[in-house]
Structure 1
Amino acid sequence: MRFKFMNFKLPPIRFEFLIPLLSVFAVTTPLHASEEQRWQQAIDHAAQAVLAIRVDAPRSFDTGINNSVQATGFVIDAEQGIVLTNRHVVQPGPTVAKGVFLNREEIKLIPIYRDPIHDFGFFKYDPKALTYNKPQALDLLPEAVQRGREIKVVGNDGGEQLSILSGTIARLDRPAPVYGRGNFNDFNTFYIQAASATSGGSSGAPVIDIEGNVIALNAGANMRNAASFYLPLDRVVHAFERIRDGVEMTRGTLQATFRYQPYDELKRLGLSDEYEAQVRAQDPAAIGLLTVAYLVPEGPSDGLFKAGDILLKINDEWVRHFISLEAMLDQHVGDDISVVIERAGKQLTLVLKVQDLNEITPSRYIDVGGAILHDLSYQQARSFNIPVAGLYVAYGGYMLSNELIGRGNVITSIAGHEVNTVDEAEAVLQTISDGERFSVRFFQLVNPRQQIQRVVTMDRRWFPASSCYRDDVKGVWPCEEWPAQLRVSKPQSSATRFVTSETPALQRMAQSLVQVNFDMPYVVEGITETRYTGAGLLIDIDRGWVLVDRDTVPTTLGDVTIIFAGSLEVPGKVEFIHPQHNIAMVSYDPALIGDTPVRNVTFSDEPLAPGDDVWLIGSKMNQKLISHKTTVAEIDMFSLPMPSVPRYRATNLEVISLTSQASTVGGVLTDKDGAVQALWSSFGYQRNNKFGSMVIGVPTAVVQDQLRWQQQAVSSVITRTIASELNFVPLNEARKRGLDNEWALAMEAHDLETRHVLQVIRVEAGSPAAAVLEGGDLILAIDGNVVTTFLAVERAAQRAELKVTLLRGGDIIEVDLQTEPLDGVGLKRFVSWAGAIFHRQQREIAAQRGRDDEGLYVSWIWKGSPAAHYGVYPSGRLTELEGVAISDLDGFVARLNETAGRASVRVKMVSLNGKETMLTLKLDNQYWPAFELRHDDERGWQRAGI
């Protein structure tokens, strides 16, 4: 059975709250008042103390993940401003919260306590900060709960600010709901059940009776029926009284889970008649006792308790239920206790030491390489039946996720050093240099018996490293940055040899093919995947130049590694990203590969045609080179679906398909001697909101043109374009549109094998072409020369001005077209602010969506950030900040500095279809400080605060 918490994820828009402000009445009710009046007074009294809580969890931690949710809380001490809610609302890790009373007055909440086991916690607010609301505290009365009692749940159900749900208490002894392994789970307590059909947003709501007393705390619900689960308040009251009075809240544990079982089952477990009689005499209403359900390995009770043991006494006092058990443990933290049990009809007296539960509840983490690491918690250890030891990966981040070490893994060794705590891990990690490789041994929680080892590369460039701890007084997690590293690990020169092959083409190409890996630390330019692998082609071994496709290196922001012969791995860097075609250039330092016998690829000038035999030479994911003889099936126009988010999409290209092919990540098509006739390139695409890739042939003529123009360039401009997407229209269709016979014959004579005309599909907004070209235009000639191929148009476009002959609306016209210069520099600067990443708009927005508005593109939003909370959305554009138009990153950073002291700011967002939205953001510089990423030729990428 699946259950859910009553958290409610924040929508990207604000709710309309339709519940009016209710008056506050005294709880005292005249004896003659009707039941309806009494309920009305109770509800009014509860409503004025209830808050709709909006929580941002900026970091994943233990059982919680970074997210933004809504829930409920209520005032239980108006003088000190103490608010009761659920533990899963307070969150186990960093929390930023605010509460909104019914009169819409907002107050800052700081977390002051979250119970390690039970689903309750406390926030605190400053009562003096309230101007328009003076709430009256609700009374907690756990003894008033009873079966058959009518109740109301007053909370933020469904994010509606205030909802009132009715029910009848059906059970007082329901086992604690199980929310699934790896999630927070309550235990060693009963729950109360009623069919009140609570849903998202009502976590932490008060469960009140007709007298206005809070008799339970709403916590969860069954997803398949109306059953709701409430936490009893006995231990809540105990914790509240200590915290209210400033007394330390001690929590003890034996690392044992107990189960309440009735007498009939206890008899089968071996309960003697003597003890049954004594227990029944102590509490005639009781129907059972606690038994040991299971133990955490290596805990205080492991090896002493056994499953099925019947718990009778602790320190000579009868323990008949969870409340008395927990009270006894909390009173004796660090002490030895005498425990009397009955096991298979035999009485045993055991001595156990009560462990401090807070010691096995993490309150500190390290943030390194984007990963969040902390001590494994008792919650997780209990869920997976493993000892409470090791370093838990709450979030893999960039550094660990690159090696498939993610959330739910437990690290046991770093760089050969055993680590059981976050302190031990920090001591080792601080000795490792940026770029240095080190081993990590870990296991997955779902399979703790299998140890896994990976080699990780230390990252101190993309993400700063820090140590953070919980401060319950201030309600924040202060962080201390690690000392700056003065040294960077430098790669050493080495060499390798290539495998030999009896296939001449493979033997020749083996020395010219490499595998290229690319890792992206941040999501930019609409590219949501962060790890890429593909084939690279050596085109200049003196400069270390490697040609790859843009499905291997999609952007300039990232780390490049190049693997030779499946053996030698060296770092690389991005030289250029082609703005139109599916090619990019990376490079390596030739000195790092020593005397490795590499060779430049040889291109063939012979174009391929259908029916030609070719050899597909490619690299598999495991770096093995393969050779596959096949035949060219056809050469035709290439068309990819339009992505929902603007990102690179190949256009204006004819590609080669084969009669058969082998599975590779890329490679080349060669003749029998190994001369390259086409690239076998991977193309990324998006269809139905799913990303995929396909490998297909690209004629070398396209590539050779681009390489020649790039090498001849005297500036950053490497190509020019007519800034239009084209396709083929059959010649008969062109005749229907008004193409006369003279032009039709000229088109036929120009290209004897094809019968088509080039059509303009869309024109890039804001380009010179947008002023003279229209969708549906048929391009007949450029500068008086008939053109029927994409390549012919591209070659002609390398001139600055063109005279283009078009068929438009049945008429032949000529237009003067200025071509647009393009560079291969790519984006070299990004800014992160409020938990979002911004950069200048990529060409794809104008090319694919026809928009050339001003503003900065939002490429990524981190969950749990102000940007996510207040509705900033990926693929939107920020056009205004605090009333000032934003057109570039310089203006954006300047405006950020001008508004740095403000707690909240106004921003205008524009969607891809032009819809404008004004948002207000409350900033959080504690967890989401602004920074920028900037590239220069000397130092490469650098991260700096703003």
Structure 2
Amino acid sequence: MPTEDTTLPSDSASVAASTNGEKPDIRWDTLQDRLRLSVVSISSSHSFYFGHAGVGSSYATGFVVDAEQGIILSNRHVMGPGPSFHKATFFNNQELFLQPTYYDPIHDFAFFRYDPADLKNSFVPKEIKLAPEKARSGMEFRIVGNNANEKMSVHQGELSQLDRNAPDYGANSYVDFNTFYYQASSTSYSGSSGSPVVDIEGNAVALNAGSGCGSSSSFFLPLERVVYAFEYVRRWEIPPRGTLQAVFKHITHVQAAHLGLDPEAAAREGVRADATTGVLSVDKILPGGPADGKLEVGDIIIGVEGKPSPVFTELFEVIDSSVGKQVSLRVFSHGEFKTVIVDVMDLYDITPSQFLSIGGATLHNLSLQLAFYSSARIAGVYIAWSGCGFFLNSDIGHRKVIQAVNGISTPDLPTLMNVLNRVGRDDPIVVKVIDHRDPRDEAVFVTRLPSLCIPGQVFTRSKVTGFWSREPYLGMSKLGDAVPALVNGFAQSVTFDSASGEAAVDAAVGLAQSIEYAVVSISSNSVCPASGQYNLTETGSGFIVCKQRGIVLCSTRLVRNPTSILSIMFLGLVSVPATLAFVHPLYPVAFLKYNPVRLHGADNDVDRQLVELDLSSFGNVAVANARLAVGSRGTVLMGKPNGGLEVVPTSVSGRRQLSTNTCSACLDQRFYNTEVFSLSPEPDSSTGDLGVVCDTNSCIRGLWVCLPCCYHDRAKRNYVGLDVLLLLPALESLRASDVSPDVVRVLDVEFKRLTLETGKVLGVGSSHIRELAQASPVQRGVFMVCNVLRKRQADTVSLEIGDVVLKVGDKRAWHMDDLACLRDSDKAELTVVRNGQEILLTVPTTSLAGKHTRRVIYWAGMLLQEPHLTVLGQATCPWLNVFSSFVMAGSPIDRELHGVNFFITEIDGHPILTLDDVANVAREIKSPDVEEFNRNVASGQRLRGGKIPGRFVKVSLVKLTGEKKVVSLHTHDLYNPSWQIHRGPLISDDWVWERL
């Protein structure tokens, strides 16, 4: 993306020489004061990915070129090709919304409109005249712009190069071509994009566009084609723009001679080396375009329509005036001169003005801009953004081009939508894609639209106003039959012989053969960001732990986002949907729920072949002694994502307290007060998520679990061993009831294990020390409170930092787990050493039931929910009930407040105590004219200025540190409608989407 910079430092006392060498009457400082009445600061918010353009909020510059009609000139990359809204701040600090009237399909300029009648206090901006003919090398200039978001910064410089080819900003950024650029040295920075480059007379001679990375080079767009388009825009017309689907570049006469063009022969053709700095040559030709087969890369353009030695402006004056016709080009090709007749195509026909938003993805036609780098054919549907992995279960990513769906070619978006109209919701589809940057990179994948996703919409840009209208897209909306889905193209025969384990020599191998049919593959795809996690697509493995009830155990790495739409594949044959039944708040495991009925009658008797893990049987070992001791030998059976097991002999090398840190950016789940074990050697399980650890008697005693990692470091994989007995209460509850388990109560503190010597120093009595010393070395220690996670009221008995907890009731705290998870009581009787004295405390416990996210509201760009567990542990302020866990880039709140993780306390004067309050306020302040505005845009009605549906509201919030803030935002209901998703209290309840 071009950097939004290029403004130059001012010297307000300088006096420039005029073109004839005489001192002018107007000094630069006087001129700068006048320019401030013309220049505006522009803040932009882009809500959708479109082409090269991303989402987010930014700031830039524009200037008035028609005060009577209210027309402002700025850059194309400032406006952006997709849906966006913009606000202009004038010199007197008046703010007006702007209408994105027109952007050039290729060149970096755009025109906004405002309603002059909306300006108050008799303020009338000054126009800046466009005078491209006054640009000359060595000319001193000034730029007044919004440099680094510092309003009305003034910079100076001298034009140095006037015939530079368009700058290259990189393959994934917007690029300009088929035009000259001016170059100058500048100290400008982001925000000066769209600034006028003016001479001493106050005329704009160029438009500030971008700058070079790591250098002081600034790039300015010449204004010849801007002036051409401006005359049409003033008349509310669309300037004709033609294309040959060819890219030209400027080369010097010397370079042309190196390519075989004899100077004398060129002179006879009318090329005057003394009057021009070079000629145009063909740099790229897109396959299937008008120039394909007519021109060749390396051809030199000698003339157009009989006029010799054209530059960019002269060439495209002819092309733009010949849309739908033909142009005659005189070229030098393969050592000879020849005349070529080429059809001129309408450039707007290959400039996307419509896109489909579906399943979190943004899809539109491939454009000339996107095909530029690889010289690809302009055909296919571009994935501008894949959202949650495009469709469910796919990881294709964005910046790909869809070539076909279900074997049907999809050359454009309407064809693709027609194909998808015949596909049901949750039905598998086969998609063929290529990389638009490398057509050799092809892929075919099977995907599906999840049963729950934000409803599809088709957005269409109005050529009259520049706003986008929306309409529902009903394709893929019909739910398929509730039957198992075969994901393979054929049925593979799989048999299971229960006697195979008896024939095995090694017990672990026999166990592996028995539980291989308990391994499942899990796909997770989130509906929206929630609980500090972004849109995630994950795949991994799990184990069936209750076949009758349909309960599967997996690592929380797969379900970090609670809005995940889950799919479980059995034996590589049948895939069925699942719900998130329970995420353990203390340990890195989760339970999923599927409907076993959906497996009945599936091909190959899948249901009959499946088995379940028995986690509650420890053989002859008592439950109290079920923890694996350090040094004990065993075997890890690691489930593979694609099915099967990896069998690894190992031994327990140590036990320790698990402690993980929380990323302040995404507030991922943190684990503490958890005792885990280590294995040596560790299984080489870089692709597996969960395994079972068996003792020498083939009894399952532990789990080998992949820890969830921060979104910003998703490739990182750390594993820990977890005792199975810790999970039994939750599993028993899930076996017995469809209600989310209430089996975890905590003390709201974090513990740290200390040595007995340190415990003695802190006042632990000698009788306790002697008893603890009789235990194994792993159990020798005491537990001290090192952090209080929730501040209690002053009159409430609570633990304090430095307390050493010895007993819970009459039971000795041998393990960390004895203090971490307390059950069946809202109070705990504790034996505590405080300040060297042993005391008895009765402290309240906190239930963690109901702390799992089951409702998310989207309003004004914020995703609001009840605070999740990590927030409760991180907040230093009192707990509040409405928490913003994510801010959408380019949304109304994003342009006013950068950052996430705060509590909402008030919206527009309404106290916010619950999520119901948010929903009620969202319905109440919704703009009543949004649908009328949408219809007017869709019908092509001419609008006056940039007034958009929505209203300004005041939002009060509290950060996790307790800092209070108040912001004002405009809701902008057209591109940011409010909605919510929610699920019921049962573990089998799925997510439901609802518009507010």
Q: After the TM superposition, which residues 271-350 of structure 1 pair with which residues of structure 2 at under 5 Å, given as runs? A: 271-272=261-262, 275-278=265-268, 284-350=274-340
Q: After the TM superposition, which residues 539-554 of structure 1 pair with which residues of structure 2 at under 5 Å, given as runs? A: 539-554=545-560
Q: What amino acid is the match of 2:4?
A: M
Counterpart residue number, 1:419? 410
Counterpart residue number, 1:497? 494
* Stretch moving more, 759-768 or 697-706: 759-768
Q: What amino acid is the match of 1:871?
A: L
Distance between the aligned counterparts of 2:874 and 2:776, measured in 1? Answer: 30
1:731 paired with 2:756, answer yes
Are the structure 2 counterparts of residues 403 and 688 from structure 1 closer, same or farther at C-alpha, using a change threshold of 3 Å?
closer
Are the structure 2 counterparts of residues 709 and 759 from structure 1 closer, same or farther at C-alpha, using a change threshold of 3 Å?
farther
Distance between the aligned counterparts of 2:485 and 2:247, measured in 1? Answer: 57
1:155 paired with 2:145, answer yes
* Stretch moving more, 234-243 or 873-882: 873-882
Counterpart residue number, 1:109? 98
Q: What amino acid is the match of 2:783?
A: L
Distance between the aligned counterparts of 2:223 and 2:777, measured in 1? Answer: 87
Counterpart residue number, 2:466? 475
Q: What SS class does the counterpart of residue 158 from structure 1 fall into?
A: helix
Counterpart residue number, 1:630? 650
Q: What SS class does the counterpart of residue 511 from structure 1 fall into?
A: helix
Distance between the aligned counterparts of 1:417 and 1:712, measured in 2? Answer: 49
1:568 to partner: Cα distance: 3.3
Counterpart residue number, 1:441? 432
1:869 paired with 2:895, answer yes
Counterpart residue number, 2:964? 916
Q: Is the 8 A contact 1:6 1:203 kept in 2?
A: yes
* Stretch moving more, 805-814 or 845-854: 845-854
1:812 paired with 2:838, answer yes
Q: What SS class does the counterpart of residue 718 from structure 1 fall into?
A: coil
Are the structure 2 counterparts of residues 593 and 705 from structure 1 closer, same or farther at C-alpha, using a change threshold of 3 Å?
same
Q: What SS class does the counterpart of residue 580 from structure 2 fall into?
A: strand
1:707 to partner: Cα distance: 2.5
* Counterpart pick for 2:789 among 724, 739, 764: 764
Q: After the TM superposition, which residues 229-244 of structure 1 pair with which residues of structure 2 at under 5 Å, given as runs? A: 229-244=219-234
CA RMSD of aligned residues (A): 2.9
Counterpart residue number, 2:107? 118
Cα distance per residue 1:246-282 (max 9 Å; x no partner): 3431011111112222323333334355553356686
Q: What SS class does the counterpart of residue 229 from structure 1 fall into?
A: strand
Q: Is the 8 A contact 2:143 2:155 kept in 1?
A: yes
Counterpart residue number, 1:50? 39
Distance between the aligned counterparts of 1:382 and 1:646, measured in 2? Answer: 40
1:709 to partner: Cα distance: 5.1
Q: What SS class does the counterpart of residue 405 from structure 1 fall into?
A: coil
* Counterpart pick for 1:70 among 59, 78, 81: 59
Q: What SS class does the counterpart of residue 581 from structure 2 fall into?
A: strand
Q: What amino acid is the match of 2:327?
A: I
Q: What SS class does the counterpart of residue 707 from structure 2 fall into?
A: strand
Are the structure 2 counterparts of residues 67 and 641 from structure 1 closer, same or farther at C-alpha, using a change threshold of 3 Å?
closer
Q: Is the 8 A contact 2:534 2:711 kept in 1?
A: no
Q: What SS class does the counterpart of residue 682 from structure 2 fall into?
A: coil
1:818 to partner: Cα distance: 2.7
Q: What SS class does the counterpart of residue 370 from structure 2 fall into?
A: helix
* Stretch moving more, 566-575 or 277-286: 277-286
* Stretch moving more, 94-103 or 510-519: 510-519
1:574 paired with 2:580, answer yes
Distance between the aligned counterparts of 1:646 and 1:104, measured in 2? Answer: 38
Distance between the aligned counterparts of 1:290 and 1:714, measured in 2? Answer: 73
Counterpart residue number, 2:612? 600
Aligned length: 928
1:905 paired with 2:950, answer no
Are the structure 2 counterparts of residues 557 and 546 from structure 1 closer, same or farther at C-alpha, using a change threshold of 3 Å?
same
Q: After the TM superposition, which residues 378-397 of structure 1 pair with which residues of structure 2 at under 5 Å, given as runs? A: 378-397=368-387
Distance between the aligned counterparts of 1:493 and 1:49, measured in 2? Answer: 63
Q: Is the 8 A contact 1:369 1:458 kept in 2?
A: yes
Counterpart residue number, 2:680? 659
Cα distance per residue 1:95-134 (max 9 Å; x no partner): 2111111111111111111111111111111111111321
Are the structure 2 counterparts of residues 624 and 274 from structure 1 closer, same or farther at C-alpha, using a change threshold of 3 Å?
same
Cα distance per residue 1:15-69 (max 9 Å; x no partner): xxxx9xx9xxxx9x9x999669521232222221101111111111112111211
Q: Is the 8 A contact 1:513 1:667 kept in 2?
A: no
Q: What amino acid is the match of 1:636?
A: R
Are the structure 2 counterparts of residues 85 and 198 from structure 1 closer, same or farther at C-alpha, using a change threshold of 3 Å?
same
Distance between the aligned counterparts of 1:712 and 1:46, measured in 2? Answer: 76
Cα distance per residue 1:898-942 (max 9 Å; x no partner): 333461111122222111111111111111111000113586211
Scaled by the length of structure 1, what TM-score is found? 0.93
Cα distance per residue 1:717-736 (max 9 Å; x no partner): 23333233222111110111
* Counterpart pick for 1:931 among 973, 976, 979: 979
Counterpart residue number, 2:944? none
Gaps of 5+ in 1: 9-18
1:873 to partner: Cα distance: 2.6
Are the structure 2 counterparts of residues 271 and 535 from structure 1 closer, same or farther at C-alpha, using a change threshold of 3 Å?
closer
Q: Is the 8 A contact 2:429 2:448 kept in 1?
A: yes
Are the structure 2 counterparts of residues 569 and 672 from structure 1 closer, same or farther at C-alpha, using a change threshold of 3 Å?
farther
Q: Is the 8 A contact 1:202 1:218 kept in 2?
A: yes
1:333 to partner: Cα distance: 0.5
Are the structure 2 counterparts of residues 554 and 176 from structure 1 closer, same or farther at C-alpha, using a change threshold of 3 Å?
closer
Counterpart residue number, 1:747? 772
Distance between the aligned counterparts of 1:69 and 1:617, measured in 2? Answer: 51
Distance between the aligned counterparts of 2:102 and 2:822, measured in 1? Answer: 70
Distance between the aligned counterparts of 1:521 and 1:99, measured in 2? Answer: 34
1:833 to partner: Cα distance: 0.7
Q: What SS class does the counterpart of residue 832 from structure 2 fall into?
A: strand
Are the structure 2 counterparts of residues 90 and 110 from structure 1 closer, same or farther at C-alpha, using a change threshold of 3 Å?
same
Q: Is the 8 A contact 2:107 2:177 kept in 1?
A: yes
Asked which structure has the greater RCO (Cα within 8 Å, sep 6+), the reply is 2
1:148 to partner: Cα distance: 1.2
Q: Is the 8 A contact 1:63 1:183 kept in 2?
A: yes
1:941 paired with 2:962, answer no
Are the structure 2 counterparts of residues 309 and 709 from structure 1 closer, same or farther at C-alpha, using a change threshold of 3 Å?
closer
1:94 paired with 2:79, answer no
Q: Is the 8 A contact 1:414 1:428 kept in 2?
A: yes
1:375 to partner: Cα distance: 0.6
Distance between the aligned counterparts of 1:844 and 1:313, measured in 2? Answer: 69
Cα distance per residue 1:668-706 (max 9 Å; x no partner): 011355421111122224599888442221112212233
Counterpart residue number, 1:226? 216
Are the structure 2 counterparts of residues 909 and 807 from structure 1 closer, same or farther at C-alpha, using a change threshold of 3 Å?
same
Counterpart residue number, 1:15? none
1:186 to partner: Cα distance: 1.3
Q: What amino acid is the match of 1:617?
A: L
Are the structure 2 counterparts of residues 362 and 63 from structure 1 closer, same or farther at C-alpha, using a change threshold of 3 Å?
same
Counterpart residue number, 2:629? 609
Q: What SS class does the counterpart of residue 5 from structure 1 fall into?
A: coil
Distance between the aligned counterparts of 1:801 and 1:338, measured in 2? Answer: 91
1:313 to partner: Cα distance: 2.6
Query: Aligned residues: percent identity?
Result: 29
